[in-house]
Amino acid sequence: MEPFRLIIDGKRVPTKQCFEVLNPATEKVAGLAPLAEASHLEDAIRTAKVAFKAWRDETERKRQTACRKIAQKIEDHAEELAQLLTAEQGKPLNGLGSRWEIGGAVAWTQYTASLSLPMKVLQDNNEGRVELHRKPIGVVGSILPWNFPVLIAIWHIIPAVLSGNTVVVKPSPYTPLTTLRLIELMNEVLPRGVVNCVTGDDGLGPIMTSHSDIGKIVFTGSCATGKKIYACGAETMKRMTLELGGNDAGIVLPDVDPKQIAEGLFWGAFINTGQTCAAMKRLYVHDDVYEDVCEELVKFARKMPVGNGTDEDAILGPVQNLRQFEIVSALVADAAPKGRVLMGGDVPRHSTRKSGYFYPPTIIADLDNGDRLVDEEQFGPALPIIRYREIEDAIEKANDNPNGLGGSVWGRDINEAKRVASKMECGSVWINKHGMIQPNAPFGGVKQSGIGVEFGQEGLEEYTDTQVVFS
């Protein structure tokens, strides 16, 4: 098996050692990733710093054109990337799986390439002229998670490149292969050193976050890791965009048609097998429709085939890694005796189960705040359902969490749904859907779910420093 290579200064760079990347559906080796040493990371940062001097001076139009060419490269290699993504991440090729993720990467790149950072005139009168300029920060360090390794790489890299920065990317050690290939393709378009990729263990992260030559860190991942990054970057006063964990609440109002919302509820909770920061992690349902919503949701969920991602019929895949599988298993095991298991929840131990980190879609009713599956982010295919009688009580319980990434309200009366939405403490709220992010709408969390926003004009501006010129 030919190992992958680091991408530094536009070149494929070998390493002394490699590490195995497992296919979570089979637990067999999907590929060999290069195990970078600290010296490789230093080379990548130095290369990006040198490349920045020329890249920042390129015209915005040239950078936009480069981003469009990247979109075309991804599209031209879409099936190759999707197959590789399924092999290492586990998600199915079809449905909202690998092919969808690669298509999303193309669309996101195309949209971001259309954005601009024009100079703004704040004042121009007999007292003088005041201009606001957006200037690139320098070298951006991107630290990626394992749930959407291609799409989130695009979210980090494209706005950085478009705004004139250079980038050093560190993928998750669980899913480095597709990102390496993605960045190799980018380097067929971009000047050498603009985007570099270094893979290895988690020891590379602290070097990046404390490095004096990295001006900004963008990270998507857990709250615990985000806090460490935030603290580590304080010494050098790094700019930060941190999109951290969520424990998104959905609130179902009493006027819903349970049959109508069942599909939306399912995908809000179980997209990517529940391994999504902005997935719905807990569901509050009014007493009047509680049993009917439970019944219709379970009825829809039972139709969803779970299997190896290479099976064209599979809609849901495995949990991506053993550690996460065990987290989900422990939370469900804690919740099952306290609630009513409507489906799933019965998983054999590692010593007796078949290969693959397959966890059945699990729905547990009659839980409440204070239960671990409600309070903690499961990041997997398990949904707790909580009964409520007064809407203000549901709002209070939805907000009673340190996270605040997303939330949703489900109801026929849109004005009432919006009223409830306005009281939810989260960065995004959806009405009669959940988690449907889009490239023109800023996305980010409140409370402990992160700092800054991604996407759209506001997200692009986060990759710049402001300079005000008085004349």
Question: For the whole model, what pTM was predicted?
Answer: 0.96
The pLDDT tens digits of the residues spanning 365-402 come to: 999 999 999 999 999 999 999 999 999 999 999 999 99
Instruction: Reply yes or no on whether the pLDDT at 351 is more than 50.
Output: no
176 close to 321: Cβ distance less than 8 angstroms = no
Which superfamily does CATH assign the domain made up of 6-244+449-470 to? Aldehyde Dehydrogenase; Chain A, domain 1 (3.40.605.10)
Helix (H, G, I), strand (E, B) or coil at 20: strand
Q: Quick one: pLDDT at residue 354?
A: 66
Q: Where are the domains of the chain?
A: 6-244+449-470, 248-431
pLDDT digits (tens, 9 = 90+) for 257-269: 999 999 999 999 9
- Over residues 63-89, the mean pLDDT reads 98
Asked if the model's pLDDT at residue 353 lies above 70, the reply is: no
Strands (E), 119-208: 120-125, 128-136, 139-143, 166-170, 195-197
Q: Is the pLDDT of residue 26 over 70?
A: yes
* Of 42 and 202, the one with more pLDDT: 42
Pick from 135-139, 160-164, 351-355: least confident: 351-355
Distance CA 218, CA 454 (A): 10
**Rounded mean pLDDT of 229-241?**
96
Q: Is 131 a catalytic residue?
A: no
Mean model confidence pLDDT for the chain: 97
- What are 324-334's pLDDT values in tens digits? 999 999 999 99
Share of the chain above pLDDT 70, in %: 98
User: What was the pLDDT predicted at 355?
Assistant: 87
From start to end of 162-220, where are the E strands? Answer: 166-170, 195-197, 216-220
- At the second CATH level, the architecture of 248-431 is 3-Layer(aba) Sandwich (3.40)
Annotated catalytic residue 18: no
The catalytically annotated residue of 67, 223, 232, 277 is 277
Average pLDDT over residues 453-457: 98
Give the pLDDT confidence score for residue 346 in this predicted structure: 81
Q: Which amino acid is at 14?
A: P
Predicted confidence band at 1 (pLDDT cuts at 50, 70, 90)? confident
